[in-house]
Structure 1
Amino acid sequence: MTAYPLTPVRFRAFDKNGQPLIGGQVYAYEAGSTTTEKDTYSDKSMDNFNTYPVILDDTGSASIYISGDYFFQIFDADGNLIEEGDGIADAESIAQNLIDNNSSGSNSIEQRVTDLESARDEHTDQINDLIDDTTDLQEQVKNEVETERDKAIKAAVDAAKTALKEDFEQQLIEVVAITRIKIGDIYITLNPENPSARLGYGVWELISKGKAIVGLSDITSDPSWTKILGGAFGEFQHTLTVPEIPSHSHAVGYSTNTTGSGVINGTASAANGSNPSENTGGGEPHNIVQPSMVFAIWKRIT
């Protein structure tokens, strides 16, 4: 004896909306009963029993082979009855019943042939319906797969762009933090406006107004003021004091007669007193500024 599939290829069920009955449950009973369970098989040779009930896969299908007459009930995954049917049998059982239930004679043979042809046509219709359903399902699955694939690709690209943007922004923050002028440091520019307007951060004060920049010195012989960070020294103009005037002498002219002239040598002549020379020079302060270029020097204070 051989088992036959409930429908050709694989049994497939659909919910009331025409969608595959994913996770559906197929209960098999003896024909005319809803209490006496009856086995179904996952292969034609009847070597392997199906679970009870048979659970439909993610396409709403299962391999169900039957032998004999059955009463079937089909429920969805939540236990709601979708459909039921009694007197469902395999093709061999149907043919045998036709033979057993009909007498001999030309009329009986013709009837059997007619019944078999009807059964064949019914199975052909079922196969054609299944092919149509399978084609529709394949197209639906294909569309869903392509849609989900496109969504997945877009999601992956968006995630990568977001990650790159976040990484760039973090690196930019780190670079800005590194390149920002720290509190107490100096910003030199030829632009007269406050650096906060250009740099976008900090409170600044203008320092070293009218003063040149001198490097901090650790050389012993250098003046002490060069060793004071932030100290100031020097002046724009300076009037020399007597100690600052280089050592020099002035000749004092004299005349002993109308035709002669010479120099009084106090040491040699033992002359007493002084002989002042004529005054020269205006005593004005002189410019001691080196050639310079003016910059705005700002110090960040907060």
Structure 2
Amino acid sequence: MPSRTTRSITLTGPDAASFANAQFSSDVLALAPGRWQWSGWLDPKGRVRALLQIARPEDERLVVVPRGGDGEAIANDLRRFVFRSKVKMIVSDVLHIGDGDAVIDMHIREDDSGAIHFGEGHSSLRVGAVRSDDTTNIDAANDDSAWVTRHIEKGYAWLPDAAIDALLPPALSMERMSAVSFNKGCFPGQEIAARLHYLGGHKKHLHVVSSERALQEGLSLCVDGKAVGIVLMCNAASTKPISLVVLDDTAVQADTLDIDDMRLHIVSTFDA
């Protein structure tokens, strides 16, 4: 399986946390040094422009890791809102995603190469450069099926291009992940996100499905020619592939769903 990559955005300065808190959907000010949290950056209509993991290695340093999308483009858009905030923004070179050693859940560890390990308890997600003299890191970058499977099963999405600016937070189960806070003040898209939170009405949910063959990430799922969902992630390395998909509730009437010329078996469903 080819390596997934990203470009992180590092925010530094006395206003780094307050700037991030004003832009992102999570409560960044509550994030303690040495820990990480889920977050997102929404557009004014509440759609998810970026799904994020935010680490706080130091009080005045945040490392924002986009799960899909173009980190440089995200940073360029963010710079338009800096105004007088005392914050500097640096975009990394291409970073590889792989499995890391066990790190306490929601804590971080920086290794000697500068890579950040996002703790998940018995494992971690390593985000960093691949060093030519480090065969362990090379293997982790080239064989990422373990973390991909783990994140599919936990409902931790990685967004293909087709899903960016297309989904609202409930479709990605962001409240379950504490990636959206309604007690911290305003942020882009808050009005729409809060309306869905308090009034409900959103009819798309995140599901794990199995299939006889691998699904293409970003594929639009259709029934009788009507789009009813999208594939976010797939572990194609498995003999029986599993995928993380978003589906319209109206299309999910049973544990088995016929989509175009394939049959999907719903393994689990995540709350908003």
TM-score, normalisation: structure 1? 0.16
Pick the structure with more strand per residue: 2
Pick the structure with more helix per residue: 1
Q: Which has the larger radius of gyration?
A: 1
TM-score, normalisation: structure 2? 0.17
